[in-house]
Every structure is written in C-alpha cells, then in structure tokens.
Structure 1
Amino acid sequence: MTTGGGDGGHPPVLAVVGPTGTGKSELALGLAERLGGEIVNADALQFYRGMDIGTAKVPEAGRRGIPHHLLDILDVTEDASVADFQGQVRAVIEEIQSRGRRPVLVGGSGLYVRAALDHLEFPPTDPEVRARFEELGAEIGLDGLRAELARVDPDGAARLADARRMVRALEVHRITGRTFSSFMPQRHYLRPTVQIGLDLDRTVLHERLHARVLAMSEAGLLDEVRALDAAGLRRGRTAARAIGYAQFLAVLDGESALETALEDTATATRRFARRQLTWFRADPRISWFNAAAPGLADAVVADRQLGRL
C-alpha cells in the first residue's frame, strides 16, 4: 500500500475514518495502545467545550490514559474553521512524532481529515474584496457576474451556476491572481499515512444509531443543550446547527415534543452517515474493515496489506 510522502524516519500516521456510529473512537484507542499512539481529533463538533453527550465524545475516564489532542478547543459561540484546524493539526502531528509517538487521527468530518493528511491549500479570503463583488453582483446581476468572471476564469464562468460561488471565484482571483479551481485538492498525502475505514451493515448501523440517540437522551442531552443555550449556543453558526442540538433546542422552545426530537435526530443522523460513507468511499486509499469484526484492533495491526504499521 502506498502511503505517500517522505517519512523523515517516522512510521505512518494512522487515520480512522468512516460513518458515525461505527466505533471509530474505540478502534483508535485500541490502535494507540498497541502502537504507542496519541489520539488526534478530526471531528469538527468535538472541538466544542460542553458538547459532550451529543457528539459521543470519549469522556476523560474512558481515554485509558492516552493523550487526546484538539478536543474542547472552541466555545460554542465560535465558528469552526477548517483552514485554522489545518495549521493546528499539522503542528500537533509533528509534535507527537517528535517525541517518538504515533499520531492516530480519528473523526468523520471528511474535509477536516483531508486538511490534516493531504496537500490541501485553502484559498484566502478578504471580506472587503468579497463585499465589493457582492455589490457589483447586485448591480449587474447573474449574467453580468458571469461575464466578469469569464474575463479571468472562463472555465469557472462556464461551470458555476450561482452568484455566491461566482463572487467567491472573483474574490480569490483578485487576491491571488489564480483561478478558484487551481486550489482544488489532489489525493496526495503530506506525510506517510495509513487510513482505516470502518463500515457496517446498513440495518445494523441504523439500529445502532437509533439506540445511540436514545442513550444520549437518557444520559442528559436535553440538560446539556439547556446549559449550552445559556452559554450562547444559538450565537454559534456551527454548533447550533449540529445534529441533536438543533432538534433539542426546538424542545426547549416548545416547538417540538421530546419524542419528535428523538426521531428527527435519528433520521438526520442516518442521512449524515450516508453522506459520510459517500465521501470516504470516494477515496481509494482507504482500507476498509467490518466494524463488527471481533478483535478489530489486532486484525488491523496484523493486516499485511497495510504495510509497515
């Protein structure tokens, strides 16, 4: 298996990915125990302090003494930024490796995983530049914006269909002199990496997700949402829209019964799991394992197709 990049003498970074509810955290802990690893979080919602029950964050008592990084780094009023995360996670990975330890990245936020592992460049932003192009768009309309973009990025003008994306493409070109499409990522690891994907029979996964939602409610999710609401949850564009939290805010507002919120959360979670699977299945570098297989951590370590772990 090709892991990519020069390794600087370090063994490959491990990444455990896949749909929610497949046991990624448990496998990551098992691999970290066996391989001298430390956990690096790549779940965007687990960045948030206090969002514990609804994100299935491993509690301190369940971490087996293994260091965990990039958990609880944001208040719920702050927006998660994949570009900011990229700088943070790469520094953490380098620091872990410098101590002779193994980074074990774990999470289901696909773009955040790629930001950590791949050569991935994010186009810069400038609110003033964007505002000028938004004003221009209001004056000249969609066709006018398309004509403006066609002067500097003909392919983008032909491909993009809405004003927001055209404004973004014009903003990027004005700042960088490059087309927006030139920033599109390639599947090329920054450093040697092995990605482990977990999958599960759909019926089993759906049953597991439904049971997990009920367990979260019994563990006090409504009280967690109430406390976070008092801490400004609704002001956070990322946190307030999180699955479970949005549905339980409706319960607090008297707009939804608890039973309805539970069912809506389970439905949204199933849909999210499908989107995650679609995202990760598109990456041919991932080696897939049955999440229900016994002795999974030992099987992963022993799998010869994964090369030198």
Structure 2
Amino acid sequence: MKQKVVAVVGPTGVGKTSLSIEIAKKFNGEIISGDSMQIYQGMDIGTAKITEEEQQGINHYMLDIISPEQTFSVADFQHMVRNHIDEISSRDKLPIIAGGTGLYIQASLFNYQFTDNKRDESFQKKLEEEAEQKGAYALHQRLKEVDPEQAEKIHPNNVRRVIRSLEVFERTGKSMAANHEKQSLTSEYEPILVGLEMDRQLLYQQINDRVDQMMENGLLEEVTGLYKQGLSNNQAMQAIGYKEFIPYLKGEETLERAIELLKRNSRRYAKRQYTWFKNKMDVHWYTITPNDKNINFSTILKDLAGMIDNK
C-alpha cells in the first residue's frame, strides 16, 4: 500500500497553519512545511513562520534548515521532503504537508523528474557576464521576451533565477510553465489534498491586517538586519515580505510605499496560489470564514477521517 500524505493548500493568510495543527493532533501526525522560504534561518516574520508556541509540541520539518546566503532548488526541496515523509511514516505517524508553494508541493508529492536539468555552465557563465555588463534589468527583459509568465514571477535582481529560466528555455525551446505541464502526476504516495478558500475581499482584508501585524512584530528590523549583512541580492531576499523594503533601505522609496507594495504583492501572490492549486491539483476545497474557523475545521476533520480510512 502507498503511504498516505495529507497536504493542506490554499492562498496565503487563509489559515493553513492552524488547520495542519488540528489535523496532526487528531490523526497522530507530524508537519512538513511546504513553503519555499521558511527554510531560511532568521527569516521568521516576513515568511509567517510558525512559532514554537504555535507548534503545540507537534514536530515540524523544513524550517530554518539553511542560511539566507545559500541557494536551494526545487529538486533539493523534493529530496528532503520525501526523506521526511519516509521517516515520519516509518514511526507510524501521518505525514502532513502545510503549504505553501504550489510547485514545491507538487514536485514533492508527484513524480517530477529533475535528472535531465543539468546545468550548462558555459551558458550560465555567459549570462552572468551579460548581467555584469548590461545590468540585471536587461537580462530580465530578455526573459520577458521569451517567457513573460516566468518573468512576472521573478524580481529582476534575482539574477540566478532569471538565468535558470533562460537556460531552461535555451535547452528546451519551451517556457518554464510548458515544461512543468509535461511532468507526470503519478505519485508513489496516496496524497489527500485539502484546500482552504475564502471570500476574496475577506481574504484580502486578512492579508492587509497580517502585514500590519508583521510590522508591529518587527518585520522592518528583520529585513534591515539581513540587508546590513549584504544579502539584498541573494535568492532569499527576493521573497515577498523582504524585497519590497530594499528600495526603502536604499533611500529610494518611502516606508509607506514599501508597506503598500507588500500588501499588494501578498494579495497578488494569494491569487496566483489559488489559481495554481485550482488548475494543477485534485484538491478537496472548503470555504471558510474568519469568524467560524473552528466550525469549518471540525467539518474538515470529520471528512478527513473518512478519506484516510477509505484510501
């Protein structure tokens, strides 16, 4: 029999973390973060990383595993998550992925193949030199011409990801999205995907409120500390919650504008997450409201009991 894995998915700010805790408590589970940015140490507030108190004694994995100076690929993520799934299940506990980042979760649960994606070092070096000579923006514009959808997702300063996307296009002649479409949706597991959704305006208000709370909790200080370490161009600092403050710290933008952009980018990201999970994965969706989460969660737990027993 294949190992059952529960994944809690949906847009940012909808309540995935709280639900994953309730599932773990009821079904003797342990939680793997499906978020591509919570892997970084010292990036806690901007990634909405679960606190030790919020974990309620439940073991959590894929948190604080590398420093912000390091890079981490989807293939790296896939490998580590699968190891955690195997280890958790070996102790007769239920692996639960709380996410997060659509591609990373899909790659971890399904048979995404990365073996053919070997780097072309000469092409990579050529683009690095082009970025130095013409600037990061020019390289980003080049990506925009061949793969506008991918360019929209990547900040121009994230030269590493821009180069990687151009390399994929150079090698395959297809966009990153088209290459993802080719991937198999077979799985060595039995995934049970639970999705949370919320009225758009209610969700956006929650996101705006959460950004305000992040600021009160010290988000600016967190970003400033990373900026002073010289990490402004690193992969980690291109995340939503961090990149918006770089122009402010450089004296190019007001703090009010940075906060406004963070709220806007968070709302847009929530919309992209929702679209990804709706289009790419077979998810059991539940509409929840901020004031009735406990009622909503009890319904989900009851349904999950049937799904886990019957699969």
Whether 2:290 is the aligned partner of 1:300: answer no
- Secondary structure of the residue aligned to 2:37 is helix
Equivalent position of 1:265 in the other structure: 262
Aligned length: 269
Q: What are structure 1's unaligned runs of at least 5 residues?
A: 1-5, 135-159, 174-179
Shift of 1:294: 3.4
Equivalent position of 1:23 in the other structure: 15
Distance verdict in 2 for CA 1:226–1:274, change over 3 Å: same
- Cα deviation, 1:71-90, whole Å, max 9, x if unaligned, reads 01121112221011111110
TM-score scaled by length of structure 1: 0.79
Measured in 2, the distance between the counterparts of 1:133 and 1:232 equals 25
Shift of 1:172: 6.7
Equivalent of residue 87 in structure 2, options 87, 90, 95: 95
Shift of 1:184: 2.1
Measured in 1, the distance between the counterparts of 2:67 and 2:180 equals 33
Measured in 2, the distance between the counterparts of 1:16 and 1:181 equals 25
Equivalent position of 1:286 in the other structure: 283
Measured in 1, the distance between the counterparts of 2:216 and 2:281 equals 39
Equivalent of residue 50 in structure 1, options 42, 52, 60: 42
Q: 1:126–1:171: 8 Å Cα contact kept in structure 2?
A: no
Q: Which moved more, 1:118-127 or 1:201-210?
A: 118-127
Measured in 2, the distance between the counterparts of 1:109 and 1:182 equals 14
Shift of 1:161: 4.9
What is the percent sequence identity of the aligned residues? 36
Equivalent of residue 251 in structure 1, options 248, 252, 268: 248
Measured in 2, the distance between the counterparts of 1:19 and 1:204 equals 12
Q: What are structure 2's unaligned runs of at least 5 residues?
A: 128-144, 148-162
Q: 1:121–1:183: 8 Å Cα contact kept in structure 2?
A: no
Equivalent position of 1:150 in the other structure: none
Q: 1:133–1:167: 8 Å Cα contact kept in structure 2?
A: no
Equivalent position of 2:120 in the other structure: 127
Partner AA of 1:95 in structure 2: E
| Cα RMSD after superposing both structures | 2.7
- Cα deviation, 1:102-126, whole Å, max 9, x if unaligned, reads 1110112011001110011123213
Measured in 2, the distance between the counterparts of 1:260 and 1:227 equals 20
Equivalent of residue 231 in structure 1, options 226, 229, 232: 229
Measured in 1, the distance between the counterparts of 2:243 and 2:72 equals 17
Measured in 2, the distance between the counterparts of 1:286 and 1:18 equals 10
Q: 2:196–2:285: 8 Å Cα contact kept in structure 1?
A: yes
TM-score scaled by length of structure 2: 0.79
Equivalent position of 1:59 in the other structure: 51
- Structure number with greater Rg is 1
Equivalent position of 1:37 in the other structure: 29
